[in-house]
Homo-oligomer: A and B are copies of this chain.
């Protein structure tokens, strides 16, 4: 049985832990900040890691924002980060489609259920798309749509992928297009399948909720490009040079972040207690997902 070590307040243990890794993958919400509240001494902690020569990658399931959008969030929080250090699930999907998925030449277009963040990231990899924020799709479904979807005349024959993410403008028409493409054999991907979205100190529908109609009506699950799916780690690896044995995942959620690192056979995982999971969950006898180490808060790594 694995045991998680507390690093908080133990400078020798912290140094030994950090020395094991060249790359740190960071979850953001619950680690760097909670909503609009920035945790103390986060910039200093990241600076310390960079000064030690560590490579930092911020891995987020947020699919509505592009890396550029997400960078603005870092700026606003007063946390220094480069676009190259940010890895969102939309970008993960774009990398996966462009560099890992082997689509036939005439089936390279992506039908998007989602917002502009997905569009920007697909464009950044030169991938053609339709759906998404297209204003023509923001309307009620009509009988002619049913007919034209059923006989296929409404469909773009180049579409070979359906990519579902968080869409605040979801409607029946957009879902019906997605389902029709899936029924015709499109590859079924999701930026992430988080069932809920933390907002305004409550929980709303996440990408997994908004996309659930396709899962239910099509009868199959998508391949997720977000944590804890290993497809996201494959996508990170397709972009970031890293030795998994010298990479550590830092996160607040056992079932996504820590699971992501363990399944990916990373050299280490570090839990922070400023988010969702409590230490009792992984210190309990028979706990399923146990991080290699934990700190009360990220800045405890400053020693």
Among B149, B168, B213, point to the contact of A209 (Cβ < 8 A).
Answer: B213
- State the oligomeric state as a number of copies: 2
Interface residues of A in 142-180 (CB under 8 A from B): 146-147, 149-151, 167-172, 175-176, 179-180
In the bound complex, do residue B213 and residue A146 qualify as a contact, i.e. CB atoms below 8 Å apart? no
Q: Are A172 and B210 in contact (CB under 8 A)?
A: yes
Cβ contacts A170-211/B at 8 Å (1 or 0 each): 111001100110010000000000011001111111101110
A182-B169 Cα distance, complex, nearest whole Å: 21
Assess whether A217 is in contact with B200, with CB atoms less than 8 Å apart.
no
Question: How long is the Cα–Cα vector from A60 to B214 in the complex, in angstroms?
Answer: 24
Are B170 and A195 in touch, CB under 8 angstroms? no
Q: A101 at interface (Cβ–Cβ under 8 A)?
A: no
Closest to A169 in B: B140
Closest partner residue, chain B, to A179 (CB atom): B205
A48 proximal to B (CB < 8 A): no
A150 touches B201 (CB 8 A): yes
In the complex the two chains form, what is the Cα distance from A205 to B168 in whole Å?
Answer: 19
Q: Is the CB–CB distance between A204 and B179 below 8 Å?
A: yes
Taken together as a complex, chains A and B put the C-alpha atoms of A78 and B200 apart, in Å, by 55
Are the C-beta atoms of A217 and B209 separated by less than 8 Å?
A: yes
* 19 A–B pairs (Cβ distance < 8 Å), ordered by A: A140-B169, A146-B202, A147-B200, A150-B199, A151-B200, A169-B171, A170-B170, A172-B205, A175-B205, A179-B205, A195-B217, A195-B219, A203-B217, A205-B216, A205-B217, A206-B217, A208-B217, A209-B217, A212-B217
